[in-house]
Amino acid sequence: MRIGELAPQVGVNPKTIRCYESIGVLPEPGRKSSGYRDYDESYAGRLTFILSAQRLESTWMRSRRSLSSGSGALFARSSLSSECPR
Residues 68-77: pLDDT tens digits?
665 444 444 4
62 vs 79 pLDDT, higher one: 62
Look at residue 58 in the predicted model and tell me its pLDDT. 74
By percentage, how much of the chain surpasses pLDDT 90? 51
pLDDT at residue 3 greater than cutoff 50: yes
Class of domain 3-61: mainly alpha
* Structural domain boundaries in the chain: 3-61
**Amino acid identity of 18?**
R
Average pLDDT on 7-19 reads 94
| Rounded (10°) angle between helices 42-69 and 3-10 | 40
Handedness of CA 57, 63, 66, 69 (dihedral sign): negative
